[in-house]
Structure 1
């Protein structure tokens, strides 16, 4: 079974976090949510409170098929400032697995050095005005650059999550999940 880590920072974008988690669970993916510190209650960017399952300190000892970062501010800034998150992202890619980020969170991938020379997208203004070295900015809803997947924002969260399902479980599972959503 595919295993995915979703680090949750205070001030993350709730629509992105919940959409990613929900759709991956519908695809029967083992999703682990982790808070950056002992406060597992995450107050999202618009005041919605969600609860992480474990603390990041416990989560980073494991390996994942995918580490996916919801955006939102100041959540993406907190992720970018956490050296454990940056190390985990690098390790995940080095092991041949996927990392993904949406909205403001691609800045975390940039800080980890994972966008150099790749195609990527983000919320307008996050990466297009300050791209990674030799990065090619795209306005596509979802950009798949092999081991790194990026997306634009809350409005693209469903497309992003469905794309991640396809990468992890294949087209048939993606279609099954998407069909049940009555899109």
Structure 2
């Protein structure tokens, strides 16, 4: 499978955490993946810190032919993702095909937990967001990979989160090369 054939869906909702969305999208594109940014309710979505992003499409117009769905966090952004019927429908359908579902910050607790996707898995979330999924015991690692569920704690983990997703979707060499290049290591 060439990297262009690896397709990732990233839904954006008003109030999303910009670093958690844009850092992974940047790294996915460096890996050669096809990334589709899908806005919830509009094609221009403004993040929690006032950065407006032009999406490729709206969530209602995308199918489920993706290798991964990546949900950025942010308190308001996560709530808006969770409140979108289209996001939940596509997320569950993609998960049911055995593809990767990844979420960072509040999104694991606000979106994945209530949708039942954390059952039988280990996961992490932003400290304090756990109350959105009260019957789940979240871990404390920065990034947690458990089968096809990948979660991370906060914006400061966005690079590690993206590299874990890239590693899961490829043989791992691409993840190592990208990590090495952006961290300026020999």
Question: Could you state the TM-score of these two structures normalised by the residue count of structure 2?
Answer: 0.92
Structure 1 residues 91, 62: CA separation in 2 closer, same or farther (over 3 Å shift)? closer
Q: Distance in 2 between matches of 1:52 and 1:111?
A: 26
Determine the structure 2 residue equivalent to 1:110. Answer: 113
What is the number of residues matched between the two proteins?
179
Q: Aligned residue for 2:83? A: 81
> C-alpha separation between the residues in 2 aligned to 1:91 and 1:62?
7
Cα offsets for 1:66-103 (capped at 9, x unmatched): 00000012110000011111121111111111101000
The residue aligned with 1:53 is 56
Aligned to 2:69: 67
Deviation, 1:145, is 1.4
Give the whole-Å Cα distance in 2 for the aligned partners of 1:130 and 1:93: 20
- Pick from 2, 7, 11: which aligns with 1:3? 7
Is residue 2:52 matched to residue 1:20? no
Say if 1:86 and 1:111, in contact at 8 Å, map to a contact too: no
Can you list the C-alpha shifts for 1:122-162, whole angstroms capped at 9, x where unaligned? 000112x45464x3311001111112111001010000000
For residues 18 and 87 of structure 1, the distance between their equivalents in structure 2, rounded to whole angstroms, comes to 23
Residue 48 of structure 2 aligns to a residue whose secondary structure is coil
Gaps of 5+ in 2: none
**Runs of 4+ with >2 A deviation:** 129-133
Instruction: Could you tell me which runs of 5 or more consecutive residues in structure 1 were left unpaired when the two chains were aligned.
Output: none
Match of 2:127 in 1: 124
DSSP 3-state at the match of 1:136: coil
1:90 is paired with a residue whose SS is helix
d(CA) in 1 for partners of 2:71 and 2:55? 14
CA distance in 2, matches of 1:31, 1:41: 16
Q: TM-score, normalised by structure 1?
A: 0.93
Rounded to whole Å, the distance in 2 between the matches of 1:138 and 1:94 is 24
Partner residue in 2 for 1:159:
160
Task: Give the secondary structure class of the aligned counterpart of 2:113.
Answer: helix
> What is the distance in 2 between the residues matched to 1:104 and 1:43?
17
3-state SS of 1:161 partner: helix
Contact 2:64 2:94 in 1 (8 A): no
